[in-house]
């Protein structure tokens, strides 16, 4: 019995370590997601790398080649799994998502929409609606801890579902900070201050929860 358990342990130990590659548009997303994902992955053996690009056009331009590289790494035996996170901005959400899934297929990878019967897939494509800052509005307690001068409640339009209001959430967020006497217009600094305070559970943004539930499914 002991030898059987030992063989099972050796088999489990021989599996490659999961390498989670998270591709984001810019530094602000990287700063916000590092502490958030560290909490999601706490206790796991997943190796996390966040790759930031010079904006959404840069990420989308380089994504096909980047995915080809990950596919090659998987063929060599590495257990690389990929998250792509982009802002919706003014794009059609369904079209953007189809394009991201198509890039994965063309590289020989499996997007979540094509997961097999066991639920296995290689690439999670997620869209922040409309921008990453919408997630900040979804967890106003985190914002108030980061910036105590702001009002006790988020603007009315962002209270129920912060993904719904049209326009740039980042512009609205900056105006709120400015009107509260906070002279910080740096998005990366927002991410550094708010990211460690974001709750993995208490957020009113559906796209935030879709992102986290997808990450959990990807590394399962």
pLDDT level of residue 200 (50, 70, 90 thresholds): very high
**pLDDT for the residue 121:** 97
pLDDT of residue 15: 74
pLDDT of residue 13: 55
Does residue 151 surpass a pLDDT of 70?
A: yes
In what helix (H) or strand (E) does residue 82 lie, and over which residues does it extend? strand 79-87
Q: How far apart are CA 160 and CA 116, in angstroms?
A: 35
What are 111-147's pLDDT values in tens digits?
Answer: 999 999 889 999 999 999 989 999 999 999 999 999 9
Q: Are 95 and 140 in contact (CB under 8 A)?
A: no
Residues, the chain:
220
How confident is the model over 145-166, as a mean pLDDT?
A: 97
Asked whether residue 185 carries a pLDDT value surpassing 50, the answer given is yes
Task: Give the pTM.
Answer: 0.91
Q: What is the pLDDT of residues 73-114, one digit of tens each?
A: 999 999 999 999 999 999 999 999 999 999 999 999 999 999
Q: How would DSSP label each residue in 80-115?
A: EEEEEEEE-TTS-HHHHHHHHHHHHHHTT--BGGG-
Report pLDDT digits (tens) over 6-53: 444 444 456 789 999 999 999 999 999 999 999 999 999 999 999 999
Whole-number Å distance between alpha carbons of 162 and 117: 34
What's the farthest any 2 CA atoms get from each other in the chain? 69
pLDDT of 14 reads 63
């Amino acid at each position: 019995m002991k030898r059987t358990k030992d063989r099972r342990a050796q088999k489990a130990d021989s599996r490659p370590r999961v390498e989670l590659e998270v591709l984001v548009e810019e530094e602000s997303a990287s700063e916000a997601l590092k502490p958030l994902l560290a909490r999601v992955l706490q206790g796991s053996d997943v190796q996390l790398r966040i790759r930031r690009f010079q904006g959404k056009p840069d990420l989308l331009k380089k994504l096909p080649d980047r995915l080809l590289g990950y596919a090659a790494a998987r063929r060599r035996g590495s257990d690389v799994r990929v998250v792509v996170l982009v802002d919706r901005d003014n794009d059609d959400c369904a079209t953007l998502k189809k394009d991201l899934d198509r890039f994965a297929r063309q590289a020989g990878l499996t997007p979540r929409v094509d997961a097999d019967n066991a639920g296995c897939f290689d690439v999670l494509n997620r869209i922040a609606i409309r921008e990453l800052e919408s997630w900040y509005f979804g967890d106003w307690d985190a914002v108030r801890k980061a910036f105590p001068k702001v009002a006790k409640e988020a603007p009315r339009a962002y209270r129920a579902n912060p993904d719904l209001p049209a326009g740039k959430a980042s512009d609205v967020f900056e105006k709120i900070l400015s009107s509260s006497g906070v002279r910080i217009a740096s998005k990366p600094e927002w991410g550094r201050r708010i990211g460690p305070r974001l709750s993995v559970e208490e957020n009113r943004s559906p796209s935030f929860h879709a992102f986290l539930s997808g990450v959990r499914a990807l590394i399962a």
